[in-house]
Amino acid sequence: MKDNLTADAFVRVHACDYDRGIVRASGTRQPSSESMLHVTRREDPFGSVALVRRVLEILDDHTFIVMRNHGFLALGVDMESAGQLALRVHGECLR
């Protein structure tokens, strides 16, 4: 699926105002309703304390976040519920 994407399929998210629920973006399409899940502003090194701090800053009461160039973090009371959350978000992204 990803091999068939063209440039107009992407939107660049510049900033998110979490308190007001506003996403500032550019591109030919509207940003995804899930844009605020892509929360880390920059790529911190894999396994670094900086990445941990950035995630903890953002995590708050969220149960799903995407870490720029690292993947996602899905939280649940157990592995099954975290996995179901990840699959639900993935399905919503395919719509």
25-37 pLDDT, tens digit each: 898 888 877 676 5
| pTM, 2 dp | 0.48
Q: Could you tell me where the DSSP H helices lie in 1-95?
A: 49-59, 79-94
User: 80 falls in which pLDDT band (50, 70, 90)?
Assistant: very high
pLDDT > 70? residue 1: no
Q: What is the pLDDT of residues 40-74, one digit of tens each?
A: 666 777 767 777 787 788 787 788 888 777 778 89
Stronger pLDDT, 94 or 63, i.e. the higher one: 63
The number of C-alpha atoms within 13 Å of 48 and in the hemisphere containing its C-beta is: 9
Stretch (H or E) spanning 53 = helix 49-59
Beta partners for residue 71, in sequence order: 67
Q: What domain range includes position 69?
A: 2-94
**Structural domains of the chain, count:** 1
